[in-house]
Amino acid sequence: MTSTAAQAASDADLDAVFAPIYADIAAGAVARETDRRLAHDEVRRLRAARFGALRVPVDSGGFGVSVRQLFRQLIELAAADSNLPQALRVHFAFVEDQLLAEPGPAREQWLRAVAQGALVGNAITESGAGAVDRYRTRLTPAEAGWLLNGTKYYSTGSLYADHILVAADREGERVAVLVDATAEGVRQRDDWDGFGQRLTASGTTEFTDVAVPADRVLGPGYGVAGPTYSTAYLQLVQLAVLAGIAQRAEQDTREWVAGRRRGYTHSAADLPRHDPLVQQVIGRLSAAAFSARASVLAVADVLDAVLAGGAREESELIEAELAAAHAQLGVIDTVLAATTHLFEVGGASIVAEGLRLDRHWRNARTVSVHNPAIQKARAIGDHLLNGTRLPFAWSAGERTEGTAR
**Model pLDDT, residue 402:** 54
- Dihedral (CA of 121, 107, 43, 182) sign: negative
Inform me whether the pLDDT recorded for 168 exceeds 70. yes
**Helix H or strand E encompassing 291:** helix 276-308
How far is Cα 187 from Cα 164, in angstroms, rounded to an integer?
12
Closest-CA residue to 187 (of 148, 211, 151)? 151
For residue 149, the SS3 value is: strand
Task: State mean pLDDT over 133-156.
Answer: 93
Closest-CA residue to 307 (of 75, 7, 65)? 65
Closest-CA residue to 116 (of 47, 178, 39, 41)? 47
Task: State mean pLDDT over 261-281.
Answer: 91
Closest-CA residue to 361 (of 372, 350, 349)? 350
- Of residues 116 and 225, more confidently modeled: 116
**Model pLDDT, residue 4:** 39
Enter the DSSP assignment of 65: -
Using pLDDT thresholds of 50, 70 and 90, give the confidence band for residue 282: very high
Torsion region of 7: left, alpha or beta (phi above 0 gives left; psi -120 to 50 gives alpha): beta
CA–CA–CA angle 52, 137, 189 (5° rounding): 55
Q: What are phi and psi of 344, to 5 degrees?
A: -70, -10
Distance linking the first and last C-alpha atoms of the chain = 50
**Model pLDDT, residue 283:** 98
**Model pLDDT, residue 133:** 77
- Whole-number average pLDDT of the chain: 94
Inform me whether the pLDDT recorded for 146 exceeds 60. yes
Inform me whether the pLDDT recorded for 405 exceeds 80. no
Would you say 5 and 115 are in contact if contact means Cβ atoms under 8 Å apart? Answer: no
pLDDT in tens, 62-92: 999 999 999 999 999 999 999 999 999 999 9
- Rg for the chain, CA atoms, rounded: 22
pLDDT in tens, 388-400: 999 988 877 787 7
**Model pLDDT, residue 403:** 53
pLDDT in tens, 298-318: 999 999 999 999 999 999 999
pLDDT in tens, 6-17: 589 999 999 999
How far is Cα 110 from Cα 93, in angstroms, rounded to an integer?
13
pTM of the model: 0.95
Would you say 86 and 156 are in contact if contact means Cβ atoms under 8 Å apart? Answer: yes
Residues contacting residue 36 through CB under 8 Å, at least 6 positions apart: 198, 199
Enter the DSSP assignment of 57: -
Kindly report the length of the chain.
405
Q: Which domains does the chain have, with CATH numbers?
A: 11-119 (1.10.540.10), 123-220 (2.40.110.10), 229-386 (1.20.140.10)
Using pLDDT thresholds of 50, 70 and 90, give the confidence band for residue 127: confident
Closest-CA residue to 113 (of 47, 195, 22, 28)? 47
Closest-CA residue to 121 (of 194, 174, 209, 182)? 182
